[in-house]
Structure 1
Amino acid sequence: MILLSFDIEEFDMPFEYGKDISFDDQIQMSITGSHAILDILQKHQVKATFFSTATFAINAPEIIERIKREGHELASHTYYHSNFEVPHLKESKEKLEELSGMTVTGFRMPRMMPVDEKEVAKAGYVYNSSINPTYLPGRYNNLHISRTYYTKDNVLQIPASVSPLVRFPLFWLSFHNLPLGLYSRIAKWTYKKDKYLNIYFHPWEFTDLDDFERFGFPGYVRKNTGVKMENRLDQFISNMKKSNLPFGTFQEFIKDIV
């Protein structure tokens, strides 16, 4: 099963590059991108998982309603995107369930940062997808962690997909920067080996990020964003479906493997 997931959040990434962006703009850009994602998924009749911060959900009720109405899964991306405290684990789950009327069983930390699995379990989550099992200088050093799903402290861990052997990460930056044909071949190779694929994106990638003065992003971040990203995801889904590879939510995947 291909697990497409989207981290829907306050678009605060410009702060990492010394740029300012208003809260209203952060929310609106993620709303715009989320609608673009949902339109593509609806076109292909594909279901996905949306990891939402409680803050985004509070400020984007129309997106949460679309996620529910169109049959996708809602999971937690904690309460705030750039401010984490342990109580936010339970608080975000409860707020998302209150706002959506959906059952929230999954969790992902912003920026795939470490989190105490015992606390994740205590907050009531079934699974956690907060690990990128690769090495990226200054970000991840997880070569010692399993590439594929496993259980820790009674929580099912579902790492982001990396290729066999060299552990090449198949996350959003790779999707932007590799030729789409090459990315698709690596994805199929990984799927054949692991019997599933877990790849994730963000709604702001589906907006135009080319304005360097506004966002400060280097070329490898802003490459193939906006309409180009919409087209790439559309083509990728079409390619995978032509190979008869199924798509599903994390909750559906867990039912298959348990």
Structure 2
Amino acid sequence: MVLLSFDIEEFDMPFEYGKDITFSDQIAISRTGTIAILDILDKYKVKATFFCTVTFAENIPDLIKRITESGHELASHGYYHSDFKPEHLLQSKLKLEELSGKEIIGYRMARMMPVDEKEIEKAGYTYNTSINPTYLPGRYNNFNISRTFFVKENVLQIPASVSPLIRFPLFWLSFHNLPLGVYKFLSNWTYKKDKYLNVYFHPWEFTDLSDFERFGFPGYVRKNTGVKMIERMENLINWMKSKNYPFGTFQDFIKTIKS
């Protein structure tokens, strides 16, 4: 099963590169990208999981409704994207349930940072997908963690997909920068080995990020954003469908591994 997921959040990434961006622009840019994602998923009849911050959810009630009514899964990405306290785990779960009318069983930490699994269990989540089991200078050093799903502190851990052997990450930056044929090769290799793929993206990738003065992003972040990203995502989904890969939400996946 392909677990296609999107971390939908207030677009605060320019702050990491020394650029200011208003809150209204943060919401507007992520909103535009989320609509583009939903349009693609509708077009190809694909179900996905949306990990959403409460801050963003409160500002897009119509899109939260569209996500849930389209059969996608809504999960927690915390209360805020750039602030975390352990109490936010339960608070975000409860608030997203209130806003959506749906049970929230999954969590992904902002920026895939470490999170206390005991606190995840205490907050009542069934699964956590906050691990990128690879090495990325200055960000991740997770070669000691299982590449594939496992249980810790009574919580199902579903790491992001990395290739066998070399643990090359299949996350959003790889998708932007690798030739599409290479990304497909690594995805096929990983899918055949693991029987599933867990790959994640963000709504702002589906908007034009080429304005260096405005956002301050290096070339490897700006590459293949906006229309090019939409085209690449449609190409990837078409290719996966041609390989007869089934798509599903994390909730769907959990049912298959428990049956």
Which TM class, normalised by the smaller chain length? over 0.9
Partner of 2:201: 201
Partner of 2:40: 40
Partner of 2:238: 238
Within 2, Cα distance between the matches of 1:114 and 1:140? 9
Partner of 1:251: 251
1:92-150 superposed Cα distances (whole Å, 9 cap, x missing partner): 00000000001100000000000000000000100000000000000000000000000
1:131 to 2:102 alignment: no
Partner secondary structure for residue 255 of structure 1? helix
Comparing 40-49 with 61-70, greater Cα deviation is found at 61-70
1:133-176 superposed Cα distances (whole Å, 9 cap, x missing partner): 00000000000000000000000000000000000000000000
* Structure 2 counterparts to residues 183-194 of structure 1, below 5 A: 183-194=183-194
* Structure 2 counterparts to residues 7-22 of structure 1, below 5 A: 7-22=7-22
Q: What is the CA distance between 1:181 and its match in structure 2?
A: 1.3
1:33-75 superposed Cα distances (whole Å, 9 cap, x missing partner): 0000000000010000000001100011111011011110000
1:181-226 superposed Cα distances (whole Å, 9 cap, x missing partner): 1101110110000000000000000000000000000000000000
Within 2, Cα distance between the matches of 1:217 and 1:63? 27
Letter in 1 for 2:140: Y
Number of equivalent positions: 258
Q: How large is the Cα RMSD of the aligned pairs?
A: 0.4
Within 2, Cα distance between the matches of 1:113 and 1:84? 10
Partner of 1:85: 85
Within 2, Cα distance between the matches of 1:213 and 1:60? 27
Partner of 2:218: 218
Partner secondary structure for residue 19 of structure 1? coil
Partner secondary structure for residue 7 of structure 1? strand
Partner of 1:227: 227
Within 2, Cα distance between the matches of 1:95 and 1:57? 9
Partner of 1:182: 182
Letter in 1 for 2:153: D
Partner of 1:96: 96
1:118 to 2:118 alignment: yes
Partner of 1:140: 140
Letter in 1 for 2:23: F
Within 2, Cα distance between the matches of 1:147 and 1:71? 28
Q: Which aligned runs of 4 or more in structure 1 are off by greater than 6 angstroms?
A: none
Partner secondary structure for residue 164 of structure 1? coil
Partner of 2:52: 52
Q: Which runs of 5+ in 1 are unaligned?
A: none
Letter in 2 for 1:49: T
Q: Which runs of 5+ in 2 are unaligned?
A: none
Within 2, Cα distance between the matches of 1:142 and 1:185? 23
Partner secondary structure for residue 138 of structure 2? coil
**What TM-score do you get using the length of structure 2 for normalisation?**
0.99
Partner of 1:73: 73
Letter in 2 for 1:174: S
Partner secondary structure for residue 4 of structure 2? strand
Letter in 1 for 2:250: F
Letter in 2 for 1:234: E
**What TM-score do you get using the length of structure 1 for normalisation?**
1.00
